[in-house]
Amino acid sequence: MTQEKTLYLVDDDPAVRDALSVVFETEGFTVEAFSDGDKFIESASSKNPACILLDVHMPGRSGIEILRALNAEDYPAPIFIISGQGDIPMAVEAIRNGAHDFIEKPFSAEAVVKRIEEGIAARAGRADAQAKQGFQGADLLTRRETEVLQEITEGASNKEAGRKLGISPRTVEVHRARIMEKLGARNAADLVRIVLGQ
């Protein structure tokens, strides 16, 4: 990892901030915690953390608004959304706005650390995936969709693609549906033909 091991944590609940700060500091991260989106955006636009962990429900700016303000799709660090159970539509909206993945509450400390480390590693290798794409419609896809498409065309299942990219299989499904819609593919075989047939 070339970036400093700094994690930005944005959550209005002091108990969540304290607990996650301890967990990540134990794993060797430097944690900068923020209680609101405005202070966070100020810092995030001037520094480059290794990762961001962002609660979706906050007073003032929501996690979705923060993703838009940061132009999350092009932000250099992966941004994970923390989402309560039953917030799946909100999580899908977050992914559409550039979130790397979402982590549902309640979660175990070990699982969160693993997902974050996988996300940082996956983001570090993303440039190769994008450089290889040169088919009609490639410009319609986001960076994350391009990475998912590469995994699909190499025959990976949603679970395998998710593991390699450091995202959940459900997140892969969301991206897969959007890719098929954008490229006009009816099924996985169509996708492979579109990508390899040119």
User: Along the 198 residues of the chain, how does pLDDT read in single tens digits?
Assistant: 334 689 999 998 899 899 999 999 999 999 999 998 888 888 887 788 899 999 888 878 888 899 999 888 888 889 998 877 656 777 778 888 888 888 887 888 888 898 898 888 877 665 455 445 567 788 788 888 888 888 888 888 899 999 888 888 899 999 989 898 988 888 777 777 777 764
Structure tokens at 12: 């209005």
CA distances from 46 to 39, 43, 70, 197 (A): 12, 5, 11, 43
Helix 158-165 and helix 109-124, axial crossing angle in degrees, nearest 10: 80
Query: What DSSP character marks residue 80?
Result: E
- With H, G, I as helix, E, B as strand and everything else as coil, classify residue 27: coil
Per-residue burial over 54-68, b if 16 or more Cβ lie within 10 Å, else e, is bbbebeebbbbebbe
Domains 6-124 and 126-196 alike in fold = no
> Cis omega before residue 106 (within 30°)?
yes
Q: How, if at all, do strands 51-55 and 30-34 pair? A: unpaired
User: Which of 124, 166, 126 minimizes the C-alpha distance to 147?
Assistant: 126
- What is the third-level CATH fold of 6-124? Rossmann fold (3.40.50)
Matching CATH number, 126-196, of 1.10.10.10, 1.10.510.10, 1.10.3720.10, 3.90.79.10? 1.10.10.10
- Which tokens go with 177? 């549906």
**Residue extents of the structural domains in the chain:** 6-124, 126-196
User: Is the overall model pTM greater than 0.95, yes or no?
Assistant: no
Q: For 117-145, give one letter per residue: b (16+ CB within 10 A) or e.
A: bbbbebbeebeebeeebebebbeebbebb
AA identity, residue 117? E
CB-facing half-sphere around the CA of 10: CA atoms within 13 A: 32
Sign of the alpha-carbon torsion through 191, 192, 197, 198: positive
At residue 173, what are phi and psi to the nearest 5 degrees?
A: -60, -45
